[in-house]
Each structure stands twice: as structure tokens, then as C-alpha cells.
Amino acid sequence: MQQNRKLCDYKKLYQLYEAGRVFTAFDTETTGLKPINSTIIEIGAVKFDRSGIIGSWAELFNPGHSLPEEITSITHITDEMLSDKPPLKQRIKDFLSFLGDSIIVAHNAQFDIDFLNSECAKNGLKRTNNDFIDTLGFSKTIFPDMQNHKLGFLADNFNIDKGSSHRALDDAKTCMELMKKCMYPNGESQQQFLF
């Protein structure tokens, strides 16, 4: 079975980034917390390398049923917003094509990867096997004294524009900026091997 491999060698990550490797920061919004009984209702992703953003991908999906109230209160995504959207199964191949063989970047990455791979399995597709960076773990390594490592808290602390939190594309962009901050805590021209 294919496996997604977590990159924990941050020095190697820095070298890959400097060498021009392509990354895709992505985020999902879902109908619940477990892929077994929940589905993705939004994917947002931004593909980038050292030279900047290469492309972005953002789409809402109709889960085929009403959203739980708590999901709407967190994401501000409503049933009305999803009513004319396609189900994910119609677009998942397009997202996988966008993702390609890039290195995935996500905050609490296993959550989003598990959901994506579950959706692949539900639709008869192979699991992804992209390497990934978890910015939650990365930030804990680089900034161990931070009182909180939630994405929004870190964005506020480092003056990263977080747009609309709990919307997938804005969270993906925030995650991209957080990865860069972790690699270059003193500014891009002053990288120091803290790891």
C-alpha cells in the first residue's frame, strides 16, 4: 500500500526548497472529524516554489446532505452555498492532477491527508503517496516556547495575513507562509540552521 512519508528532516526540507522543489499547501473543510463518516466540502490549495506562487485551486463540494450546524458556524459554509456545487467525486481527479508529485504542506497534515486518501478510496482511486510537511510539528520544533501552535494564533503572532480563517484557500496560503517563517525565522536573507 502506498504511504505518505512525513518529512521531519528540516535541513533537507530547506535544501529542497532552495533547489526549487515544488510544494502544495492545502487545506480541507469537512462535514465532521472522521473520514469514515464525513466528507470533504471544500479544498483550497496553493502550489509554490522558491520563486513564488505557481497556481491555486479552490472549490466547494455538495456532500449530498445538510451540513451540521457546528460545521456552518466554524466555516461559514452554508447548505445554500453548496446546493449547486458538484460532488467531490466529479472533481477529485482534477485536484489530484493539480497536486501532482509536489510535496504537501498542511497544518495538522495527517487530518487532511487522511480525508483526501479516504475520498480517493471511496472513488476507486489510488491513495496519494506525496511526501508531506506538517507545519504544526515544524512550528513546535522551531518555536517551542510559543504558548499555542494553532494556525490562526501563529499567523497573528507572525503578522501573517490569514484572510478568512477556516476557509480552505486562505488557510492553505497561511500554511505556506508559516512554512516559510519556520524555515527563515529571521527573514529570508538570514536563514540559520536551527534544526
Q: Looking at the annotation, which residues are catalytic? A: 166
Contact 48, 23 (CB under 8 A): yes
Q: List CB contacts of 10: < 8 A, sequence separation 6 or more.
A: 138, 141, 142, 182, 183, 195
Helix (H) or strand (E) holding 54: strand 52-60
Distance, CA of 52 to CA of 173 (rounded, Å): 12
User: What is the DSSP pairing of strand 23-30 with strand 103-106?
Assistant: parallel
Contact 56, 37 (CB under 8 A): no
Contact 176, 46 (CB under 8 A): yes
